[in-house]
Amino acid sequence: MPKVTLPDGKALEVPQGATAADAIALVSRRLIEKAVAAEVNGKMVDLFFRLPGDCSLKAHTFDTKEGKEVYWHSTSHVLAQAVMRLYPDAKPTIGPPIEQGFYYDFAGVPPFTPEDLQRIEEEMKKIVRENQPSRRVELSRQEAERLFAENKFKLELIREIPDGQHSVYYSGDSWFDLCRGPHLPSTGMIGALKLTKSSSSYWRGDASREPLQRIYGISFPEKKMLDDYLSFLEEAEKRDHRKLGAQLGLFMFHEWSPGSPFILPKGAIIYNEIQALLRQEYIKRGYREVITPQLFNKALWEQSGHWEFYKENMFILTVDDAEFSLKPMNCPSHMLIYNSSAHSYRDLPLRIADFCMLHRNELRGVLGGMTRVRKFSQDDAHIFCMPEQIGQEIDAMLDFVRFIYVDTFKFSFKAKLSTRPEKYMGELSQWEEAEKHLEDALRKNGIEYAINPGDGAFYGPKIDFDVKDALGRGWQLATIQVDFQMPKRFKCEYEGPDGRQHTCVVLHRAIIGSFERFLGILTENYAGKFPVWLSPVQVALLSVSDQYNGFAESLAAKMRAEGIRAEANCKQETIGAKIRGAQLEKIPYMLVIGQKEKDSGNLAVRTRDGKIQSDVPIASFIEKVKKEIKERS
């Protein structure tokens, strides 16, 4: 009898011809009830997959990342079947799982309305109630082409799939779709589902290709899980940085400059406070700040490798009858700075920091508020060092990441080690050495990490950090990269102790990442209630009538002289309206200024959460706020 090895190392015997489900049932009745797919010898398979003799086996439930992907991808096929029932002329294209749920793109249909989504959702629920069994059929390329002869999108995909790897999944007797699987055993396993929105898209994400209509959705094994998720979406909607940014006067957008946010005065205060924090740390950590040009001849990008590997993401224009580009990143310009003078090993490490604006030619269809833009600034830095200094420099960067995210902003994070991509520069041995340096540093510093294979930059591997916000959402922000290639291309050298010239190593590093993206994330994380040190207005002084305007103004000026961002509201409004206005602006402290405050020199301090403290001496309040600002509490 074949032996099946489980993740804990235990082995069990199964009958010849047993399926993955048969083996999982022998492990636990509860596990087979929850299983959605299996992993056999490291490959994801259906539960009805027949085991190939002796093998390793792992069950996947909705609780695993792989299980969610199977669950959501299977639901996307239910969506496609429902659309085809209601819109027989539609042409299904692709329907992948995504981070939260799934989508499916369709050609040959008009834009979907909310009413359309409701009808489609009801049809999906009907398909779920029908409990249609899933069946995998493997085909030759010719058979697959005949089956999808009327769908040019599927035909394009079929011709890209290696021969012998074509498969379709049937749901019930008649509905089928091109898919590599795996799938849920039947549609009846979908406990609860919801279509969340629709949008336009393009085939293969290419604006020059056919326009499509996309439907997004999500599904769960239990209705309560769906209800919890919808509550999460409702809270996320309240925190949407685009709405809060407009409401609080932080930033704006205009159609004449897509993907290029306007940072308004209040947003600029937050922006500058974050930069001030970083500059303060740069002094402590030995960084030297530079300011570099925006526009460079293509010769720079040819030498750096960007012209070959990154050109489609660059804004290219003609200057003096030659091709130039707005810079998408700072590293090549920092190589020029390094090469502007000679260096000894005694000069290294040299840490160059840069806040200059960058431009990347993102597709207009993927632009999204502050989190996906074309024009942005990074806390970009490049460390030029000797190979033997790599470890200590990565350690220092990891300490910097912890200081910013854990100590200052109270975020948690996860690390990903992104390894060599399919298209890369340089020698394999150098890539392996660079990856080892990063992995050793993560282990040494006790940071848990996952491997993200093939997602490194074309010039080197990297550590990416996913930061979790108040709603538990992950955002990719900080990055640390080891680069042997670019300094070699630019001949960035130093004189070693042996008197000979050596090529240095460059470590690329951004802690905050894009300031624009970070500002959007902070807005949502705090729901607009920024901590005192970041709040554009820290104290609002609200006069109860015109006769106290002068006192309110003089007190606000006194606070500003102490470094507190204080504003007096002397408008002709009721005190109730002034308090409501300050609460809508989410100002941390509100001071009602009347006769009592003028006579006593004490304040009634109201917080934005509605707490009130009476008879607070002015000097004590000022010191309290100054302390909160200084400590960034």
Over range 270-294, report the average pLDDT.
Answer: 96
The SS3 assignment for 384 reads strand
Cα distances (angstroms) measured from residue 597 to each of 247, 571, 601, 612, 619: 31, 19, 5, 14, 13
State the Cα–Cα distance between residues 169 and 135, nearest whole angstrom. 6
Specify the length of the chain in residues: 633
Confidence at residue 556, expressed as pLDDT on a 0 to 100 scale = 96
Q: Active site residue: 360, 374, 565, 578, which one?
A: 360
Average pLDDT value for residue range 433-445 = 91
The SS3 call for residue 323 is strand
Confidence tier at 299 by pLDDT (50, 70, 90): very high
422 vs 160 pLDDT, higher one: 160
* pLDDT reported for residue 362: 82
Alpha-carbon span 35 to 63, nearest angstrom? 9
Active site residue 583: no
610 confidence band (pLDDT: 50, 70, 90): confident
| DSSP H or E stretch at residue 317 | strand 316-319
Q: Give all domains of the chain, ordered by start, each with its CATH number.
A: 3-59 (3.10.20.30), 66-237 (3.30.980.10), 251-525 (3.30.930.10), 539-631 (3.40.50.800)
Select which of 60, 194, 334, 462 is catalytic.
Answer: 462
Confidence of residue 206 (pLDDT cuts 50, 70, 90): confident
Q: What is the pLDDT of residue 485?
A: 87
Catalytic-role residue among 46, 177, 379, 380: 380
Query: Which residues share a beta bridge with 467?
Result: 413, 475
Q: What is the pLDDT of residue 365?
A: 66
Query: What does the pLDDT average to over 586-612?
Result: 93
Mean pLDDT of 4-23: 94
Greatest C-alpha distance within the chain: 95
Q: How confident is the model at residue 62 (pLDDT cuts 50, 70, 90)?
A: very high
Write out the DSSP string of 462-480: EEEEEEE-TTS-EEEEEEE
Task: State the Cα torsion 317-319-322-324 to the nearest 10°.
Answer: -50
Distance linking the first and last C-alpha atoms of the chain: 64
Q: Which tokens is 38 given?
A: 């299996």
Mean of the per-residue pLDDT values of the chain: 93
pLDDT for 363: 77
Say whether pLDDT at 412 is over 90.
no
Task: Identify the pLDDT of residue 266.
Answer: 97
Tell me which of 428 and 593 has the higher pLDDT.
593
- 382 catalytic, yes or no? yes
**Residues pairing with 167 in the sheet:** 138
Question: Is 346 one of the annotated active-site residues of the chain?
Answer: no
Q: How far is CA 205 from the centre of its chain?
A: 18
Locus of tokens 């200024």? 593
Residue 200 confidence (pLDDT) above 70: yes
Q: Which of 403, 395, 377 has its CA nearest to residue 280?
A: 403
Mean pLDDT within 283-311:
93
Tell me how crowded residue 524 is: count the other CB atoms within 10 A of its CB.
Answer: 26
Catalytic residue at 508?
yes
- For residue 5, is pLDDT > 90? yes
pLDDT tens profile 350-362: 999 999 999 988 8
Q: Of 81, 213, 378, 481, which one is the catalytic site residue?
A: 378
Is the pLDDT at 462 greater than 70? The verdict is yes
Q: What is the pLDDT of residues 73-119, one digit of tens each?
A: 999 999 999 999 999 999 999 999 998 999 999 999 999 999 999 99
What's the confidence (pLDDT) of residue 174? 85
In whole angstroms, what is the distance from residue 174 CA to residue 81 CA?
10
CA-CA distances (angstroms) from residue 490 to 217, 302, 305, 435, 505? 48, 11, 10, 22, 11
Helix (H, G, I), strand (E, B) or coil at 552: helix
- Select which of 331, 385, 492, 570 is catalytic: 331
Assess whether 298 carries a catalytic annotation. Answer: no
User: How confident is the model at residue 310, as a pLDDT?
Assistant: 86
pLDDT of 574 higher than 70: yes
CB-CB contact of 584 with 601 (8 Å): no
pLDDT tens-digit series, residues 465-520: 998 888 888 888 999 999 998 899 999 999 999 999 999 999 999 999 999 999 99
Residue 101 region, left (φ>0) first, then alpha (ψ -120 to 50), else beta? left
The answer to whether the beta carbons of residues 112 and 213 sit under 8 Å apart is yes
Residue among 508, 509, 517, 606 flagged as catalytic? 508
Residue 24's Cβ-count burial label (10 Å; 0-12, 13-18, 19+) is buried
List, as one string, the DSSP characters of 79-92: HHHHHHHH-TT-EE
The token pair that represents 9 in the structure block: 């190392």
What are the φ/ψ torsions at residue 588 (nearest 5 degrees)? -60, -45
Residue 392 pLDDT more than 90? yes
Q: Of the listed 91, 154, 242, 382, which one is catalytic?
A: 382
For residue 564, give both structure tokens. 């507190």
pLDDT digits (tens, 9 = 90+) for 161-174: 998 899 999 998 88
Selection from 522, 413, 398 nearest residue 467 by Cα: 413
For residues 116 and 91, give the distance between their C-alpha atoms in angstroms, rounded to a whole number.
17
* Structural tokens at position 75: 């639901």
Whether this prediction's pTM lies above 0.85 is answered by: no
**Would you call 462 a catalytic residue per the annotation?**
yes
Q: Work out the average pLDDT over 440-453.
A: 91
Q: How confident is the model at residue 380 (pLDDT cuts 50, 70, 90)?
A: very high
Centroid of chain to Cα 376: 15
Q: Coil, strand, or helix at residue 157?
A: helix
Q: Is residue 378 flagged as an active site residue?
A: yes
DSSP assigned state of 132: P
Separation of alpha carbons 98 and 154, rounded Å = 20
